[in-house]
Amino acid sequence: MAILPRISSPADVRALRPAQLEGLAQEIRDFLVASVSRTGGHLGPNLGVVELTLAMHRAFESPRDTMIFDTGHQTYVHKMLTGRSDFAGLRQRGGLSGYPCREESVHDVVENSHASTALSWADGIAKANELRGHVDRHVVAVIGDGALTGGMAWEALNNIAAGQDRRLVVVVNDNGRSYDPTIGGLAHHLDTLRTTRGYENFLAWGKRTLRRSGPPGRLAYEALHGLKKGLKDVVAPQGLFEDLGIKYVGPVDGHDVTAVEQSLRRAKAFGGPVIVHVITEKGRGYVPAEQDVADRFHAVGKIHPETGLPVAPSRFGWTSVFADEMVRIGRRRPDVVGITAAMLQPVGLAPFAAEFPARAFDVGIAEQHAVTSAAGMAFAGLHPVVAVYATFLNRAFDQVLLDVALHRAGVTFVLDRAGLTGDDGASHNGMWDMSLMRMVPGLHLAAPRDEPTLRSALREAVDVDDAPTVVRYPKGPLPDALEAVDTVDGVDVLARHAGDGASVLVVGIGPMAHLAVEVGRMLDAEGLPTTVVDPRWVLPVPAALVKLAGEHDHVVVVEDGLVEGGVGAVLGQRCAEAGVGVPVQAVGIPLTFLDHATRAQLLETLRLRAEDVAHDVLALVRGPAV
């Protein structure tokens, strides 16, 4: 009889006999492959934590004991064990979130899907438990080896070590990679720690063998025993953690439920901060994922479960254009280098790294370090291109402002997945960048609308050597190329429509330029004279755009960023400063967190479709009766 249908709470997991756990683990993997192949989602990370999650729910009692997952994309198994087994709508509006979600369950705590934060959450909760007298409660934080490359994780560890009586267990889920293989000194340290099992087995064998070999053997054994400390320092340097004052347990086979459960119970009984080092395999039990070296199964779209191949091949996308143009620039410019934060493949820097391995730097999940390191490179004569998802640049705003811009460093930031990304929810929408970057003095920001303008923006960006530049583009396939019919001092004119009514200037920012053209057609159909433009370089606001605004009766700016402090708001300010009295209507994303849904659904909800924008423009120009 199947076990998984009978699991609706952690109590059901704890009630199972140990002999049943292996079968349940296989059922969970079968369910994950079948479900995620239909909806898309984070498959590899969840296949890797099946036994670990089972062991956690057997050793601890959620929600009394708090479980925190960093970054949260590895919580599908946790959801299944806490009564959420309907995955039919995973990452779709009205369905389960792809990350922990407080609205879904009391078992979910941290919703932010940015990495390296779990240990700080755990430290705070453990401190609160101590102050409130909850001495029977534990906090368990699962953090991957990739997330441990983030500086915030080490800030948290430094503070966790100070609370020797706080009941806090850190589970290091060590699979050797985040999106890409984990890099840096920590990765080498964990590689060495993995050999602890070999060290212990070798020492046990030496004891058994040498004790049986008579007096010469005893002398050899004594020599071996004398070398124990030195050997352990070389082969099993867990002192990195223990010297902080945090007890270390491991490494443990993360796919042996019993071994993990026993280790977690030992850590639980200790009564202070403990690190449990668990070795797992990302994509465990699914042959296509196990055999894939590029980690394509970290996050997947709809796939054929038997082969792992996409149901529908992806169209040539924005990231691919960046990848190709970056290599072309690299061939022309030996001073150009690429920097990424543990996302060499996802952001498109892998081809550049393959051709110029000495000029590509993966710094781990450390966006702040990436930006300040880039400032240092610029000072020393290079031109760094820092490629990250737009949402992750939020984490390094101070470094952009004070390390790059203040020092007038020639650093280019390439922001992938800018604007509405949709199904990954609030923390992954890249909607903050333009409002944030407008506050940075001297910064230049380009929002290309198609492949030709992306290529030209990149070439122009790396030619700026005395200020930061930003090139942003959305997630997904490329739209058709949209040629300009004219150019006015660098501002592309995409369409002109004659008419007799109040004239309207429609400004499309980046990928919204195509929507702006459609809005222009709709206003033309209503008899309004309309000019549609794309400034391409939107920050600082071009003087030509202010001049064009003054030649019209109404201006509407359509952008896929925040309305608050966005390009439309800045254009309105610049017009007022120049004495241009034209009203500027800013259309974009409101100041709110957006639930997971498709991009199309979000555009409809936010009234960012062409028909919505045209209707609202007409209402303002002709009055609300229209």
Rounded Cα–Cα distance for residues 190 and 202 (Å)? 19
Q: Is 173 annotated as a binding residue?
A: no
Q: Is 514 annotated as a binding residue?
A: no
Q: Is 73 annotated as a binding residue?
A: yes
By DSSP bridging, strand 469-472 and strand 444-446 are parallel
Record the tokens describing residue 99, joined without a space.
Answer: 């990350």
Q: Is 255 annotated as a binding residue?
A: no
Could you confirm whether 367 is annotated as catalytic?
Answer: yes
260 Cβ contact list (under 8 Å, min separation 6): 51, 52, 55, 252, 253, 254, 276, 278
Rounded Cα–Cα distance for residues 266 and 276 (Å)? 10
Rounded Cα–Cα distance for residues 80 and 61 (Å)? 15
Record the tokens describing residue 180, joined without a space.
Answer: 């890409």
**From 284, 296, 395, 438, active-site residue:** 395
Could you confirm whether 395 is annotated as catalytic?
Answer: yes
Asked if residues 42 and 299 have their Cβ atoms less than 8 Å apart, the reply is yes
Find the angle CA(141)-CA(146)-CA(148) to the nearest 5 degrees: 55
Reported residue count of the chain is 626
Residue 336, helix vs strand vs coil? strand
Q: Is 146 annotated as a binding residue?
A: yes
| Amino acid letter, 173 | N
**From 79, 84, 282, 449, active-site residue:** 282
Identify the CA nearest to 596 among candidates 154, 42, 70.
Answer: 42
Q: What DSSP character marks residue 542?
A: P
Could you confirm whether 127 is annotated as catalytic?
Answer: no
Q: Is 367 annotated as a binding residue?
A: yes
Q: Is 113 annotated as a binding residue?
A: yes
- Run of H or E residues at 131: helix 118-131
Q: Is 145 annotated as a binding residue?
A: yes
Identify the CA nearest to 599 among candidates 446, 479, 436.
Answer: 479
Kindly write down the DSSP assignment for every residue of 437-475, as one continuous string: HTTSTT-EEE---SHHHHHHHHHHHHT--SS-EEEE--S
Find the angle CA(458)-CA(461)-CA(466) to the nearest 5 degrees: 165
**From 367, 451, 518, 559, active-site residue:** 367
Distance in angstroms between the alpha carbons of the first and the last residue of the chain: 64
Phi and psi torsions of 167, nearest 5°: -85, 90
Asked if residues 560 and 538 have their Cβ atoms less than 8 Å apart, the reply is no
Record the tokens describing residue 516, joined without a space.
Answer: 């702006």
Find the angle CA(94)-CA(430)-CA(93) to the nearest 5 degrees: 5
Q: Is 295 annotated as a binding residue?
A: no
Asked if residues 348 and 319 have their Cβ atoms less than 8 Å apart, the reply is yes
Rounded Cα–Cα distance for residues 261 and 51 (Å)? 9
Beta bridge partners of 420: none
| Amino acid letter, 621 | V
Rounded Cα–Cα distance for residues 77 and 231 (Å)? 39
Q: Is 123 annotated as a binding residue?
A: no
Binding site for Mg(2+), by residue number, is 145, 175
Binding site for thiamine diphosphate, by residue number, is 73, 113-115, 146-147, 175, 286, 367
Binding site, by residue number, is 73, 113-115, 145-147, 175, 286, 367
Active site residues: 282, 367, 395
